[in-house]
Structures are given as structure tokens and as C-alpha cells.
Chains A and B, each alone.
Chain A
Amino acid sequence: MKTCTKCGAPEVIIEKKHSGQRLCQDCFIQGTQQKVLKDIRKYKLIDKGDKVLMALSGGKDSVMVLDILNSLYERNIIEMTAVTIDEGIKGYREDGVRIAEDHAKRLGIEHNLVTFKDSFDTTLDDIMTSSSQRGACTYCGVFRRWILNREARDVGATKIATGHNLDDETQAILMNYLEGNIENLTRIGPKTVSRSEKFTVKIKPLREIPEKEVALYVLARELEVHFAGCPYSQESFRGEVGQFIKQLSQNHPTIMYSTLRGFDKLKPVIKKEFTKEFNMGKCTRCGEPSAHELCRACIFCIEINE
């Protein structure tokens, strides 16, 4: 009979193929929390006194980060606030918004809801049904980043925490590599520090946690989350790459870890060779930091209105 390799309990909920470890529910929860807190220290993601803005979608990843960062918040090590971005995806976003609000309320954390509609006077659905020239994820990514940065400044946050997990991160590495976007690779890492102080530092506490374990964690902790796929994600190249790595992982359970480790070793070299030097100015339309006259969000807004 298979028992927990840590405590011997008979009810095992996970068998980690890459390490041979089998864990019961309690040992899995505890081990995962410790791993994430260890990574936070190792990569110096959070300093005492930081005000962390949690990008809280109500999905499993951000709810798990919130749950773990809450242990630091409860001990007064950090301040915490949350924001939920409503892209305007009908039939998909509503549940996430409600769940995000419930978690923030339960933990007594300040929470704001910011919509694409309020920020850009349009919704992702409207963009995609009218004359969209780009993929949904391109618009969404640029607009979300714009909102997150502005929100972070508005609430005085020193860090922005996102729910990116191991699957997301290896996907991003492989995708940018396959597309030849080497400059994008220079920005991938546990902590994204930008050249403009008007951009808040972004951190990814779940960067080394596989997506499946994130799901297992929120279920084991009985945290309410929104398990649903964005209706636009399947159309993307990112989605295809993601499925490819997940398939590979079936027979090669360490492949995501090795992709990440290998990339992290290469990163200093890539960064040295490929970081573009340019002056960060201000977007003349919205005032957000931009290397050009207009930021990407404003360029998209103008395109959409044409």
C-alpha cells in the first residue's frame, strides 16, 4: 500500500513522478507553502514592509498566491491589497470577479475592480467581434499590464504579485524562443525589474509550482476558485505551445523543471547581449511610461477606434 513518504499516513493525494515523493493532504499543503515561502526568500521577491498588490482573477493561481501571501500579511510582514481586472468577456469573467471579491472580504484585504470599459471604453468581446487585427491575448496582455501598473501606483504598491506557475513560465520561455523573440526572453524571471521607476516590480511566487499542483493545493485547502478556461485562450499560439509541453511532461516529468533551470542559467548571458538600451519617456496620450511617443495600449486604442 502506498503511504505518505513524509508521515506515513495512508491517504495519499499526490505522487510526484519526478521525485518519487508521495504526500498526504496535510503534508502536501505544508510542503507546498514552505516551497513557495522558500522561493520568496531565495529570489528576494518580498521585503519586510512591502505593500503587495495581488492581481486577483479568482482563478486557482492567484487565489493560491493570495492564500500564501496572507500568512505574511497576517504576521504584519507585508501590507496587501488586491485588484481584479474585468476584461469584458461575457459568461467567463463574472464568476471570477465574485470569487475574488469574496476572498478579499474574507481576509479583510482592500480590493478594487477595474474594467477595460472604464479604462479604454471598450471590452475584449467588442474588440474581438469588430475589426481585430491582433490576437485576443495581445490586446488583453497589453491592456492588463497598463491597468496593473496604474493601479499599483494609485494604491502605493511596491510589488505586484501574479499567479504565473511553472507551466506558464516554461510556456513563455519556449514560445518566445520558438518565435525568435529573444528580447522578450530578457524579461522572463521570478522578479521583473523595469528600467522606469514608474513601473512597479512584478513577482511570481508560483514560478516553480506545476499547474496541476496549484489546482491540487486550492482543492486541498478548500478555497473557492473559478476553474474555467478563457474562451480566447485556445486560439493562441501560447495555448498550442502549452499543450505541447504538457504532452511531453507525461513521459518526461522533469521537462518543465529542466526547461526553467536551463533558461535561468542562460538568462544572464541573454540579458547582457540583448537588453535594449533606450530612454523611458512618457506616453503623450496617457502619461504612462513608454519608450516611444505612444505606449502600446494607446496605439491599440487608436487602432480600435479607426
Chain B
Amino acid sequence: MKFTLIIGDEQETRDFPDETTIKRVLEDMDFPLETVVVKKNGQIVLEEEIIADGDVIEVIKVIYGG
């Protein structure tokens, strides 16, 4: 399963096993979940959302520092 991951100005293609959740991907990258909002194909979604082939996942860092 391949999807597009957008974080800030950076965009890349990622390859993960099927049925992978957004949460799993973020944890894999050591990205603190509580500081981000995630959009899947332009819609805000929960972190438990499962990524499908061809999805565009945008991670928006919304909380900084303290």
C-alpha cells in the first residue's frame, strides 16, 4: 500500500503494509500525536483511521513548545 505523506512543505511517498493506521505511521516517525491534526484526502480524521492505497495524508503540526 502506497500513500502520499505531507508534513509542512515536505511531501513524500510512503510504503506500508495494508490496514496501517495513521497512528501507526506517526508513532513510527516518533511524531507526538497530541501535537498534530491529520487530514486524509482533505478531510480531518481520527488517528485510528486506516490508510488506503493512493490516499493523501497531511499531518499538520498545531501545538508547539509548551
Contacts of B39 in A (CB 8 A): 219
Stretch at the interface among A108-116, A155-163, A222-230, A284-292: A222-230
A126 at interface (Cβ–Cβ under 8 A)? no
Stretch at the interface among A80-88, A185-193, A238-246: A238-246
Asked if residues A171 and B66 are in contact (CB atoms below 8 Å), the reply is: yes
Alpha-carbon distance A25/B37, docked complex (angstroms): 13
B44: which of A171, A216, A243 is its contact (CB, 8 Å)? A216
Asked if residues A13 and B44 are in contact (CB atoms below 8 Å), the reply is: yes
Contacts of A12 in B (CB 8 A): 46
B62 at interface (Cβ–Cβ under 8 A)? yes
A234 at interface (Cβ–Cβ under 8 A)? yes
A14 at interface (Cβ–Cβ under 8 A)? yes
B29 at interface (Cβ–Cβ under 8 A)? no
Asked if residues A215 and B62 are in contact (CB atoms below 8 Å), the reply is: yes
Asked if residues A239 and B60 are in contact (CB atoms below 8 Å), the reply is: no
A1-15 near B? 1/0 per residue, CB < 8 Å: 010000000011111
CB contact under 8 A between A13 and B62, given known A219-B37, A246-B34, A249-B34: no
Number of interface residues of A (CB under 8 A): 31
Q: Is the interface of A mostly helix, strand, loop or mixed?
A: helix
Asked if residues B66 and A250 are in contact (CB atoms below 8 Å), the reply is: no
**Least Cβ–Cβ distance between A268 and chain B, in angstroms:** 28
Number of interface residues of B (CB under 8 A): 15
**Least Cβ–Cβ distance between B18 and chain A, in angstroms:** 18
A34 at interface (Cβ–Cβ under 8 A)? no
**Least Cβ–Cβ distance between B15 and chain A, in angstroms:** 27
CB contact under 8 A between A13 and B65, given known A216-B37, A227-B60: no
Asked if residues B66 and A239 are in contact (CB atoms below 8 Å), the reply is: yes
Alpha-carbon distance A240/B34, docked complex (angstroms): 16
B50-64 near A? 1/0 per residue, CB < 8 Å: 000000000011111
B45 at interface (Cβ–Cβ under 8 A)? yes
- Which B4-27 residues have a C-beta within 8 angstroms of A? none
CB contact under 8 A between A242 and B46, given known A212-B34, A215-B37, A227-B60: no
Asked if residues A219 and B63 are in contact (CB atoms below 8 Å), the reply is: no
A242: which of B43, B45, B48, B65 is its contact (CB, 8 Å)? B65
Asked if residues A233 and B46 are in contact (CB atoms below 8 Å), the reply is: no
Asked if residues B63 and A11 are in contact (CB atoms below 8 Å), the reply is: no
- Which A243-298 residues have a C-beta within 8 angstroms of B? 243, 246, 249-250
Alpha-carbon distance A216/B46, docked complex (angstroms): 11
CB contact under 8 A between A229 and B37, given known A12-B46, A25-B44: no
CB contact under 8 A between A220 and B44, given known A246-B34, A250-B34: yes
Contacts of A227 in B (CB 8 A): 60-62, 64
Alpha-carbon distance A236/B64, docked complex (angstroms): 13
**Least Cβ–Cβ distance between A238 and chain B, in angstroms:** 6
Asked if residues A233 and B65 are in contact (CB atoms below 8 Å), the reply is: yes
Asked if residues A238 and B66 are in contact (CB atoms below 8 Å), the reply is: yes
A240: which of B44, B45, B64, B66 is its contact (CB, 8 Å)? B66
Asked if residues A15 and B46 are in contact (CB atoms below 8 Å), the reply is: yes
Contacts of B66 in A (CB 8 A): 171, 233-234, 236, 238-243
Asked if residues A229 and B64 are in contact (CB atoms below 8 Å), the reply is: yes
Q: Which residues of B contact A (CB under 8 A)?
A: 34, 37, 39, 43-46, 48, 60-66
